[in-house]
Structure 1
Amino acid sequence: MGGYDTETEALADAARAELVREIDADGAWADDPVWREAFATVPRHLFVPYYYVTGARGYERRWGQSPDRRDRERWVRGAYADVPLATRLRDGELLSSSSQPSLMARMLAALRVEDGDRVLEVGAGTGYNAALLAHRLGADDLVTTIDLEPEITESARQHLAAAGHHPLVVTGDGARGVPERAPFDRIIATCELPTVPRAWLAQSRPGARVLTPLATGLLTLTVRDAEHAEGPFLPGAAYFVPLRGGRRTRPEGVSLAGLPGRAREQESFRFLLTLTGGALDPREAYALWDREGEPGRGRYGVTVAGEHAWAWLDDPRGPYAWPLP
């Protein structure tokens, strides 16, 4: 499978088993251990026939068809390292990557996929995440994955076929969803967005679950109907390539001068600044963060109600709320 020599495939099998043991020990899929079998079966190396690592001269490419056996070994070991892999560059800028496997496992477990669910993935990437979903569901037709770049969707389609999966791969704007495949029971995004696209809610069944990166966190929403959804962030940090065509959510040019050093160094404080998108002056943000006990991501959430959306701390109807786009 994949056109690699026997030695490389054997090394890949051993490296994949070791990766699964690492993720298992990390507890990433403790809430939904069915994902262990998917990660143990789906061959990640087929989805990253080459990738880039940073070296003395900038990015250096590793690829599985290198004539040098040692280079092939480095490639396959890197393919199963629990790290994100840069897979597509343009003029030195990262366009697409394969996410850290343990983070993928945590996201998939948090998605709470059930048998028979129809799933939309926004951000096809290499196709690896779509393959994991298709394996878990046991039916390729239940999975739809979308990306804006034709080159990305075509390579994802090829990688999926090499691994024996054929979900629908769509070229288009992920923020608009895929209405012809709706309604969806689950929507998962693997790229950073500035807000929750309303099209996703309109294409979801009541009770559907949405998981999307937002403001360096992972937001989980339960959809009530086509115009309403609400839910909290997961506790951990998450950094993703922004949705192509969308704007970045991170505040640019915000001065932290004059704030205590512990605030400048704390991720939880920077998350608050990013989530509020400039609605809070850094000094106001610090006063709130300090007063409320340095809250982590898990205490925040988002509500979508028609044309309005807002982020909040602790309580959607509480005193701390900030508008989202």
Structure 2
Amino acid sequence: MGAHALDKELEAVAAAARAALVRQIEASGAWAADPVWREAFAAVPRHLFVPYYHVGVVGGYERRWGESPDPDARERWVRGAYADTPLATRLRDGELLSSSSQPSLMAMMLAALGVEDGDRVLEIGAGTGYNAALLAHRLGDDALVTTVDLEPEITESARRHLDAAGYHPVVVTGDGARGVPERAPFDRIIATCTLAAVPPAWIAQCRPGGRVLTPLATGLVALTVRDAGHAEGHFLHTPAYFVRLRGAGRPEPEPAGLGGVPRRGREHDLFRFLYTLTRGSLDPEEAYALWECEGRPGRERYGITVGGGRQWAWLDDPEGPYAWPLPV
């Protein structure tokens, strides 16, 4: 049959599931800031971007496949493709290499990106190609969208999925931390992988007044670019967990023990965000004391400043008193 040539019955299941997903995202308020994204999610068929994926089960993962000989299995695959959950799409030795993000989180990120007609957009982390298709649909011009990934097998499959869905943005194989200078300048840059600091190349390749939206620590920071070396902005309120950006020179810091931190801190998402953001500057007990003293601040009170060849995270005010250097 082929995952891209569904029979009429399965096409009807896909259409109904896609409509249900759109209603679910709408109810969540994810695109309230920019409702134009509703039409993109209603039009772009997510199942074409996940011809197979892995669902966590006890002891590992179960593979769902659009070309399974079992009709019930094919229906489970297509319904799962429209669940508002992240889907593991690429594993290596049990490690998650690539995934299709939770659609409502994608919708919130795209709305927060503030895309306007005619914008040139760079996506860091091609994934399945689904996000690039949503951007291409929204902008109505494939040439305005560039997506980059380090892994050739990821960019090749993203290109295939995009072709199948009828979208043809520019897909580049390369180190996302270096951006895509030959396609610059960009008006918007969005990353779908987490990292420890903002690559300077992204700021340099973004127009003044442009916006960079990227996962950092366990949050999402939206930076407004002032010029090639300066940008600043706050975190969004929402938690966000993404696959780490892969490439040379970006070791993952080892987490220190939280043994001295009370359990209510160790298990609290907002404390863990603060601790991850300030790792290397504050020890766990210092981070916990600050967190309690400041009333367990939400993510939106934190921000990032890039400038003068350095970058730092801060609470409430870029000038301090609470500011912590980020690795560059």
TM-score between both structures, scaled by the size of structure 2: 0.97
Q: After the TM superposition, which residues 13-52 of structure 1 pair with which residues of structure 2 at under 5 Å, given as runs?
A: 13-52=15-54
Show the counterpart of 2:191. 189
Does the 8 Å contact 2:86/2:99 carry over to 1? yes
Alpha-carbon displacement from aligned partner over 1:65-110 (angstroms, at most 9, x marks no partner): 1111100110011000000000001111110000000000000000
Distance 1:3 1:134 in 2: 22
Note closer, same or farther for the CA distance 1:240–1:278 as it changes in structure 2 (3 Å cut): same
Q: After the TM superposition, which residues 1-325 of structure 1 pair with which residues of structure 2 at under 5 Å, given as runs?
A: 2-245=4-247, 247=250, 252-325=254-327
Which amino acid counterpart does residue 75 of structure 1 have in structure 2?
A: W
Which amino acid counterpart does residue 287 of structure 2 have in structure 1?
A: A
Distance 1:56 1:28 in 2: 31
Query: Tell me, what secondary structure is at the counterpart of 1:289?
Result: helix
Query: Tell me, what secondary structure is at the counterpart of 2:256?
Result: coil
5+ residue gaps, structure 1, are none
Deviation at 1:307, TM superposition (A): 1.3
Which amino acid counterpart does residue 136 of structure 2 have in structure 1?
A: A
Distance 1:139 1:62 in 2: 33
Does the 8 Å contact 1:188/1:212 carry over to 2? yes
Note closer, same or farther for the CA distance 1:253–1:178 as it changes in structure 2 (3 Å cut): closer
Deviation at 1:6, TM superposition (A): 1.2
Does the 8 Å contact 1:121/1:190 carry over to 2? yes
Alpha-carbon displacement from aligned partner over 1:214-261 (angstroms, at most 9, x marks no partner): 001001000000000000000110000001126465x53422223222
Q: What do you get for the CA RMSD once the two structures are aligned?
A: 1.2
Does the 8 Å contact 2:218/2:240 carry over to 1? yes
More divergent stretch after superposition (2-11 vs 45-54): 2-11
Deviation at 1:296, TM superposition (A): 1.2
Query: Tell me, what secondary structure is at the counterpart of 1:293?
Result: coil
Which amino acid counterpart does residue 93 of structure 1 have in structure 2?
A: E
Does the 8 Å contact 1:184/1:208 carry over to 2? yes
Does the 8 Å contact 2:219/2:239 carry over to 1? yes
Distance 1:274 1:56 in 2: 29
5+ residue gaps, structure 2, are none
Query: Tell me, what secondary structure is at the counterpart of 2:285?
Result: helix
More divergent stretch after superposition (39-48 vs 285-294): 285-294
Query: Tell me, what secondary structure is at the counterpart of 1:170?
Result: strand
Alpha-carbon displacement from aligned partner over 1:141-168 (angstroms, at most 9, x marks no partner): 0000000000000000010010000000
Distance 2:258 2:156 in 1: 43
Alpha-carbon displacement from aligned partner over 1:168-210 (angstroms, at most 9, x marks no partner): 0000000001111110000000001111010111111100000
Quick one: percent identity of the two aligned structures?
77
Deviation at 1:60, TM superposition (A): 1.5
Does the 8 Å contact 2:14/2:78 carry over to 1? yes
More divergent stretch after superposition (56-65 vs 9-18): 56-65
Does the 8 Å contact 1:194/1:248 carry over to 2? no
